[in-house]
Amino acid sequence: MIKPIGSDTLTPLFVYDTERHHELMHEAESLPSVVISSQSAGNAVMMGGGYFTPLKGFMTVGDAVGCAQNMQMSDGSFFPVPVLCLLESVDEIKGVKRIALRDPNMEGNPVLAVMDITAIEEVNDEQMQLMTEKVYGTLDVDHPGVAAFNSQGRMAVSGPVEVLNFSYFQDDFPDTFRTAVEIRNEIMERGWKKIVAFQTRNPMHRAHEELCKMAMDGIEADGVVIHMLLGKLKPGDIPAPVRDAAIRKMAELYFPPNTVSISGYGFDMLYAGPREAVLHAYFRQNMGATHFIIGRDHAGVGDYYGAFDAQTVFDEEVPEGAMEIEIFNADHTAYSKRLNRVVMMRDAPDHSKEDFVLLSGTKVREMLGQGLAPPPEFSRPEVAEILMDYYQSINKD
């Protein structure tokens, strides 16, 4: 089985030992505490689940700047984005060596993790600008990722953490949320050797379905892990429970038995395009995937990135030998009227524009909202029905 990055074994930071977990929860109630940002909470959840192996906690400013600049921490370790715990104020924890981190996304702000503080540093304007520009490729505050990153505060608290819960993800998505440890275990139980991972924050239409099948056929994979984002999205994105239902219906009806695993992870979308694609590949290797599909405008938003920047970044910026996972580069996909199936457009050089069925996401959302099923070339009817129900319910509201 493929090794985790920088380690022979996964190093999840969640405290699985029951006695130790109880001791820490009791201790946390008497520790000074801070409510962290949603982005920091997502980072803690990912570290807890082993996805960010071999990180031991939140980075110092120097390490974070190094990751932004060249994807390397000061000790040479590879990591593609800063993992910071940024606060607006540290007045209540000055001089303290151990604190509780509280969850901003759950009622009552329960304890999420306990941290041993190694440093408290102020991020200056130059450092903030460098990290923003390197990770997001823009300083535009209209970019949702830029806005979220820059709204957290400028005080960075760093140090190792012990994670005590998985925020709302385990409660809200008990059938879908899985740690990297659990996914590795499932892959081993299924006996899969070659595994393709597919990232999604949207329901899967025919093009996505066929893309997974093309990748599986292309590398002769045993199975595909459809791995969906369960954290915060931008306004207008379809909620996770609706996506989950649509994806499960598609997998049940249109994939052979024992070829699909459906799971999700708790993290806020960065919309960082190429740099986020590298992060996605990073934690897919940690969860056991040998291959990862990168398609058009992966993890992008608006017009901030070129259509295939998320593919070229692996050749142009990722340090050589940093990851073992292989990238399956996907082209634009569309339904070919001549071949009666979905194809990657690069594989049909003899086609003209009229030979393809192309529908914009906006057009499809309009149709769904009006109770109209998209054509079968775009969406499976069973999937369309689930989405139509959702859009009609919000239109009533």
Find the catalytic residue in 98, 190, 202, 365: 202
Q: Residue 194: how many CB atoms within 10 A of its CB?
A: 15
CB proximity list for 203: less than 8 A, separation 6 or greater: 238, 242, 243, 246, 247, 383, 386, 387
Question: Known catalytic residue: 286?
Answer: no
What would the 3-class secondary structure string for 254-311 be?
HCCCCCEEEEEECCCCCCCCHHHHHHHHHHHHHCCCCEEEECCCCCCCCCCCCCCHHH
* Residue 3 burial by Cβ neighbours in a 10 Å radius (0-12, 13-18, 19+): middle
Q: Which of 289, 280, 261 is nearest to 193 (CA)?
A: 289
* Residue 138 burial by Cβ neighbours in a 10 Å radius (0-12, 13-18, 19+): middle
- What Å distances lie between residue 126 and 61, 134, 149, 193, CA to CA? 12, 12, 15, 46
Determine phi and psi for 121, rounding to 5 degrees.
Answer: -130, 150
Distance in angstroms (rounded) separating the CA atoms of residues 94 and 204: 48
Find the catalytic residue in 98, 154, 190, 201: 201
Question: Known catalytic residue: 201?
Answer: yes
The catalytic residue positions are: 201-202
